Amino acid sequence: MERQVAIVTGAAQGLGRVIADHLHAAGYRVAYADIALQAAQAAASAADASGETAMAIGLDVTRKSDFEAARDLLVERWGGVQVLVNNAAVTLTTPVMQITPEEFDTVITTNLRGTFLGCQVFGAHLGEQGYGRLVNLASLAGQNGGTASGAHYASSKAGILTLTKIFARELAGKGVTVNAVAPGPMDLPSVRAAVPPEKLDKLINDMIPVKKLGDPGFVADLVVQLASPNAGFATGAAWDINGGIFMR
**What digits encode the pLDDT tens for the residues 87-120?**
999 999 899 999 999 999 999 999 999 999 999 9
Active site residue 131: no
Q: Vertex 143, ends 138 and 145: CA angle to 5°?
A: 110
Domain contains 89: yes
Domain contains 12: yes
Domain contains 246: no
Domain contains 22: yes
Total structural domains in the chain? Answer: 1
Q: What is the pLDDT of residues 17-66, one digit of tens each?
A: 999 999 999 999 999 999 999 999 999 999 999 999 999 999 999 999 99
Domain contains 247: no
Domain contains 144: yes
Contacts of 179 (CB under 8 A, 6+ apart): 134, 135, 136, 164, 168, 226, 231, 234, 235, 236, 237, 238, 239
The CATH number of the domain holding residue 131 is 3.40.50.720
Domain that holds residue 59: 5-241
Q: Which of 28, 32, 131, 153 is catalytic?
A: 153
Mean pLDDT of the chain: 96
Domain contains 184: yes
Q: What is the pLDDT of residues 187-203, one digit of tens each?
A: 998 788 777 888 889 88
Residue-level pLDDT at 1: 52
Domain contains 68: yes
pTM listed for this prediction: 0.96
Report CA dihedral (51, 52, 54, 57) to the nearest 10 degrees: 60
